[in-house]
Structure 1
Amino acid sequence: MIKELVVKQRNYFLSKETRDYKYRKNALNKLRQAINEYEPMLKDALMYDLGKNEAESYFAEIGIVLKELTYIEKHLKKLMKNKKVKTHLVDFPARSFISPHPYGVVLVISPWNYPVMLSLCPVIGAIAAGNTVILKPSEFSAKTSEVLKEMINSTFNDEYVKVVTGGISTNQELLDQKLDYIFFTGSTNVGKIVMEKAAKNLTPISLELGGKSPVLVTKDANVKVAAKRIAFGKYLNAGQTCVAPDYLFIHESKKTEFVKYFDEALKQFFGDNPIKSKDFGKIINDKHYTRLLNLMEDEEAVIGGVTDDSLRKISPTLLDNITYQSKIMQEEIFGPILPMITYENIDQCINYINKNPNPLALYLFTSSKETEERVLNECNFGGGCINDTIMQVASDYLPFGGVGESGMGSYHGKASFDTFSHFRSILKKSTKIDVQARYAPYTKAKEKLTKMILK
């Protein structure tokens, strides 16, 4: 079935149907209509899979997708245009331009933590660029995946855009096909497997991975604002966010103040009993719930630490007296637990970050321009914020992606179109004049002329 689907989509792509501007624009409009129609079902599924309330489901998932659609629809014609560039004298007489061209059959493999946004945003870019698309959503967020399948497969023909569901064996079968582009969002370990599979067919790939994203609060930061914004970014989706702050560096002089304001922010967000709050989600499955319990075992919780096995919930937790050797510092947490490490000098933070795999995000709270420049210049990471968390992801004007072990490639806004397009360099030469200097036999006079031109 998978093999036949890829053949069917490749044949449809070769028919050139998907490359027309009006066709692409119409497809994006049909997707918008489908999302609006299925919004209640998507919200219900997100509540079932992740415990997301309707408001969070909209602003952190559905609304982001619709915003991406708006940007792409508005700019599509301009994005599709050839871009004129300068022509060197050596090519006279001629003109040069760069032409975006779709790859062909695109495979999008999406994760369970933001199953709507991280499925549909790449699909929007792939459609806009003129490709056919196979979307494979996660089996862990099964309810949402089924709604996406019904929504997409009832909106588009199989040969154009198709959702395929299933487990590991389905992923393996898909990756064994000769595809034209693969876009994967998930863990670093699985990303390595995807990249290995893609290498066999020399298939270009984007990897949107994760890692331990640090947040730094300096002695000159606005600690009250920092605490509130860190709490927001950390506990959105119960901490199951690839760009969530993974661990906190807090200047030792600000620790007490930070804990006070952090506790106040959490009570403002979720009340005195966060586990019962309708605004606080649950862990995706028993496996991840048990993993998280194991990570915070024997650690000191200054805030939170309350668990409920029946609801699969862990209250927003802040851990103290954490060292670099602590178990929770050895892997990405991906849950509502924030380890706190005090420091005296910013060099300690920079050195630790640089000795470990490049994080997907970095967040710095400071009022010092010098500190800001040091951290930005000396640390390597995918993207981030100064005096905020995770909001860089919401911008259509900021490409989103990792570096090193946190990923490769980027998308959102223009970058989404660019990712799913091959940019061909074209030189169009005039036949009215044929400069003879480049042809043999090569004389001293020709060499002298060439040197003048190539300077």
Structure 2
Amino acid sequence: MTIHDIYQAQRSYFASGATRPLSFRKTQLKELRKAIKRHENEILAALHADMRKAPVEAYGSEIGLLYEEIDHTLAHLRQWMKPVPVSSPLMHYPSGSVIYREPKGLTLLIGPWNYPFQLLINPLIGAIAAGNCAILKPSELAPATEAVIRKVIADAFKPELVAVVTGEGHVVIPGLMQHRFDHIFFTGSIPVGKKILEMAAPHLSPVTLELGGKSPCIVDERADLKTAAKRIIWGKCWNAGQTCIAPDYVLAHEKVADRLMEHMKSAIHQFFGENPANSPDYPRMINEKRFDQVASYLQQGKVFTGGQTERSDKYIAPTILTDVSFESPVMKEEIFGPVLPVIPYKTTAEAIGMIAQNPYPLALYVFSSSRRTEQAFIEKVAFGGGCINNTLVHFANIELPFGGVGYSGMGRYHGRNSFNEFTHEKGVLKTATWLDVPMKYPPFNNKLKLLKMIQK
């Protein structure tokens, strides 16, 4: 089927009303879960082939999260779909008001390469739960996962409900977006996100953008340094740093910066051994282009530990950099790799000023035992979401909305937020006919005084 054929088939199918009933939506979610389960080993093998992800990491970050999302949605979908009565203004008495939740229609979901399975299927769960049809565009940069996504989706759905379109993104996506979609969900880089918005603008299609940015990690003098070091290195080296919410750089209080770096060096050794290249638990860069970009950052500071590379293996060791300039590319661009600059600071205000040089991070992490320090960063820095004394794990809490702000994106998903993102809330006010208050009708005469009294 051509893109046009798929699009027309989904338009007709959605117009039939088949996707609207609760029973249909729940059935489709269960079919998706079954299909993932049937192909679980293939998914793990594909992720290893594309990025050398260890089974535990691949399952935890790409499959297990989806099972939780589906189960949570199935448990709550009936309640989410219910119409919600709300109050009505007295001047429109006798009236009642209700918010109805209905599907938007046809959705386009564009996935990234770094978590190529989970970050495409996760928003699909929300799209199906909300009663929509969907066209999926997986990343061609993870070809093994792209192939298994096609199998999973074909196993679970008819193409008039959910279909996969593959190919080079710069060719396929403009072709797709010649059509009007009722919602577009994109996960990827800021430059491509801007292009998605441009292509959506002529159709006035609503867009969710899950982007990135430079997510800071702040460690003050009251932090538990050993625990902070382990959690920072874990978050940075998960997927070899190719994570949109990975700690991009560390701001360490000058009193503890040296000790923190020693603890982080020890954590690297504890996790991956003397030579991380030999660890079965340490992934690789997605391709040579990404390797070259991340490797270039190694020259932009002093290597405290790590720094080893092997281009033929797409391997870059977990690396801590010091003496970096805020004007260098490593502090201007999202690193998206296992290179971690550490910069000392003196005061909370100074740290907040440093963060402001790369505004609107997708995530922010604070390590401290001080409630005042926590609140200072939460209240004074605009960021998508984050953790206190941890990294990454806010993403795994279905009850928390996930998304960016400013340059790091727009829109929210996970759990109920995913359902809401793909749902149109239709407000309806119903007025009885047994009483018809004449106040709103001309002639108005002296009704202004009465109107002001009612609307006080």
TM-score normalised by structure 1 residue count:
0.98
Distance 1:298 1:65 in 2: 38
Q: What is the RMSD computed on CA atoms of the aligned residues?
A: 1.0
User: In structure 2, the residue corresponding to 1:385 is in which secondary structure?
Assistant: strand
- 2:369 is aligned to 367
- Gapped runs of 5+ residues in structure 1? none
Alignment partner of 1:32 is 2:23: no
Q: Do structure 1's residue 82 and structure 2's residue 83 form an aligned pair?
A: yes
| Distance in 1 (alpha carbons) for counterparts of 2:199 and 2:300 | 40
1:48 aligns with 2:49: yes
| Aligned twin of 2:148 | 147
Match of 1:341 in 2: 343
Alignment partner, residue 104 of structure 1:
105
The one-letter code sitting in structure 1 at the alignment partner of 2:163 is K
Q: In the aligned structure 2, how far is the partner of 1:76 from the partner of 1:146?
A: 30
Instruction: Tell me if the contact between 2:88 and 2:96 (Cα under 8 Å) persists in the aligned partners.
Output: yes
Question: Could you say which residue in structure 2 is the equivalent of 1:13?
Answer: 14
Q: How does 1:299-448 map to 2 (within 5 A)?
A: 299-444=301-446, 446-448=447-449
For 1:181 and 1:41, the matched residues in 2 are separated by 30
Shift of 1:11: 0.9
- The residue identity in structure 1 corresponding to 2:432 is S
| CA–CA distance in structure 2, aligned partners of residues 212 and 256 of structure 1 | 22
**CA–CA distance in 2 between the matches of 1:27 and 1:221?**
46
C-alpha separation between the residues in 1 aligned to 2:357 and 2:261? Answer: 28
What is the match of residue 207 of structure 2?
205
- Asked whether the equivalents of residues 354 and 380 of structure 1 are also in contact (C-alpha less than 8 Å), the reply is no
More displaced, 207-216 or 291-300? 291-300
- Superposed displacement of residue 150, structure 1: 1.2
Query: Bigger CA drift: 103-112 or 362-371?
Result: 362-371
Q: What does residue 66 of structure 2 align with?
A: 65
Contact kept, 8 Å, 2:28 with 2:156, in 1: the verdict is no
Query: Could you tell me how far apart the structure 2 residues matched to 1:55 and 1:273 are?
Result: 20
CA distance in 2: counterparts of 1:351 and 1:302, whole angstroms: 25
Aligned residues: 454
Q: Which residue of 1 aligns with 2:162?
A: 161
- Aligned partner of 1:177: which letter? H
Residues 164-217 of structure 1: CA distance to partner in whole angstroms, max 9, x if unpaired? 111121111112211111000000000000000000110001000000000000
What secondary structure, in the 3-state scheme, does the structure 2 residue paired with 1:17 have? coil
1:266/1:226 Cα in 2 relative to 1: closer, same or farther (>3 Å)?
same
SS at match of 1:90: helix
Q: Distance in 1 between matches of 2:296 and 2:395?
A: 30
Where 2:342 maps in the other structure, the secondary structure is strand
1:260 Cα deviation after fit: 1.7
Listed as ranges, the gaps of 5+ residues in structure 2 are none
Aligned to 2:138: 137
1:110-166 per-residue CA deviation (whole Å, 9 max, x = no partner) reads 000001110111000000000000010000011101100111023211110011111
Q: What residue number does 1:236 align with?
A: 238
Match of residue 191, structure 1, among 190, 193, 199: 193
Contact 1:6 1:179 in 2 (8 A): no
Q: 2:274 aligns with which of 265, 272, 275?
A: 272
Give me the whole-angstrom Cα distance separating, in 1, the residues matched to 2:65 and 2:42. 17
Percent identity over the alignment? 45
Mean CA deviation greater in 305-314 or 43-52? 305-314
**Residues 244-255 of structure 1: pairs in structure 2 closer than 5 A:** 244-255=246-257
Inter-partner Cα distance in structure 1 for 2:365 and 2:180: 39
Q: Matches of 2:100 and 2:356 in 1, distance apart?
A: 38
**How many angstroms apart in 2 are the aligned matches of 1:254 and 1:2?**
57
List per-residue Cα deviations over 1:266-319 (Å, max 9, x = no partner). Answer: 112111111111100000001000111112125321111111222211111101
Of residues 163-172 and 136-145 in structure 1, the stretch that sits farther from structure 2 once superposed is 163-172
Counterpart contact for 1:83–1:99, Cα < 8 Å = yes
Consecutive aligned runs of 4 or more in structure 1 exceeding 3 Å deviation: none
Aligned residue for 1:241, secondary structure, equals coil
Is the 1:323–1:341 Cα contact (8 Å) retained in structure 2?
no
Return the offset for 1:450: 1.8
Give the Cα–Cα distance (whole angstroms) in 1 for the partners of residues 164 and 49 of structure 2: 20
The Cα shift of 1:253 comes to: 1.1
Residues 319-338 of structure 1 show CA distances to partners (whole Å, capped at 9, x for unaligned) of: 11112123311200000000
Q: Report SS of the residue matched to 2:109.
A: strand
Please tell me whether the aligned partners of residues 142 and 286 of structure 2 are also in contact (alpha carbons under 8 angstroms).
yes
Which region of structure 1 is more displaced relative to structure 2, 147-156 or 402-411? 147-156
Q: Is the 8 A contact 2:127 2:133 kept in 1?
A: yes
Q: What is the CA–CA distance in structure 2 between the aligned matches of 1:327 and 1:284, rounded to whole Å?
A: 20
Whole-Å separation in 2 of the counterparts to 1:77 and 1:142: 37
The one-character-per-residue Cα deviations of 1:367-426 (angstroms, maximum 9, x if unpaired) are 111111111111111111111111110010000000011000010000000000011111
Shift of 1:224: 0.9
Distance, in Å, in 1 between the alignment partners of 2:171 and 2:53 is 29
